C-alpha cells in the first residue's frame, strides 16, 4: 500500500518545451485581476505563472505507475517558488521534476516534488509542491 519510497530521488525526463507568449501571460495576468502597471508592458509573468508548467510536468509523474500514487485522492497542500529571475515572454520553458520526499501524514501520505524550470540551459525558478494523498480512512 502507499507510494513507492524507492522513487524518492527519481528525476523525470525534461518536459516538452513551452513557449511563453504574450497571450498566455496576459490571460494569466487578467485572471488574477492584476492591476500592477508592470504587467502592462507585457514583458514579465506574475510570480505564480510557473505553476502553469510545473503542474503539467508533475501530472506526468503522478500518472507514473512506478510511483503508485492514487491520483484521484490528491490535494495540493503547499507551494513554494524560489526565483532566479522572472519568467519573460519569449522564454521556452522546460521542467525537470523530481520526487524529493514521501512520508506518512496521519492516515495519509505527503509527497514533495521539486520542479526546476529552465529556459534553455538557464535555471529560471525552482518550485516545490507538496501533495497530500488522502488515505482510505482520511
Partner 1 sequence: MTIKLSDVTVGLELPPLDLAFTRADLVAYANASGDMNPIHQDEVVAKSVGLPDVIAHGMLTMGRAIRVVTDWVGDPTAVIDYSVRMTRPVVVPNTAGGSTVTFTGKVAQINDDGTVQVDLGAVFGDVKVLGLAKATVRIAQ
**Kind and range of the H or E element at 63?**
none
Q: Minimum distance between the CB of residue 36 and partner 1, rounded to whole angstroms? A: 6
- Counting Cβ atoms within 10 Å, is residue 115 exposed (0-12), middle (13-18) or buried (19+)? buried
| Sequence-separated (6 or more) residues with CB below 8 Å from residue 9 | 98, 99, 100
In the complex with partner 1, the residue whose CB is nearer, 7 or 132, is 132
Contact 117, 95 (CB under 8 A): yes
Name the 3-class secondary structure at 80: strand
| Residue 81 interacting with partner 1 (CB under 8 A) | yes
Grid cell, residue 28, equals 494569466
In the complex with partner 1, the residue whose CB is nearer, 59 or 92, is 59
In the complex with partner 1, the residue whose CB is nearer, 11 or 38, is 38
Residues 6-65 that bind partner 1 (CB under 8 A): 24, 27-28, 30-36, 38-39, 44, 46-48, 51-52, 55-56
In the complex with partner 1, the residue whose CB is nearer, 56 or 96, is 56
- Give the interface with partner 1 as residue ranges (CB under 8 A): 24, 27-28, 30-36, 38-39, 44, 46-48, 51-52, 55-56, 76-83, 85-86, 128
Amino acid at each position: 500500500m502507499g507510494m513507492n519510497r524507492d522513487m524518492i530521488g527519481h528525476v523525470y525526463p525534461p518536459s516538452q518545451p513551452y513557449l511563453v507568449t504574450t497571450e498566455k501571460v496576459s490571460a494569466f495576468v487578467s485572471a488574477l485581476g492584476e492591476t500592477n502597471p508592470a504587467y502592462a508592458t507585457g514583458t514579465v509573468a506574475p510570480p505564480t505563472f510557473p505553476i502553469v508548467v510545473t503542474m503539467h510536468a508533475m501530472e506526468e509523474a503522478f500518472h507514473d505507475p512506478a510511483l503508485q500514487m492514487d491520483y484521484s485522492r490528491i490535494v495540493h497542500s503547499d507551494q513554494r517558488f524560489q526565483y532566479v529571475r522572472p519568467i519573460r515572454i519569449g522564454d521556452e520553458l522546460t521542467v525537470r521534476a523530481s520526487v524529493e520526499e514521501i512520508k506518512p501524514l496521519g492516515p495519509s501520505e505527503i509527497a514533495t516534488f521539486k520542479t526546476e524550470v529552465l529556459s534553455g540551459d538557464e535555471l529560471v525558478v525552482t518550485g516545490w509542491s507538496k501533495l497530500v494523498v488522502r488515505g482510505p480512512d482520511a
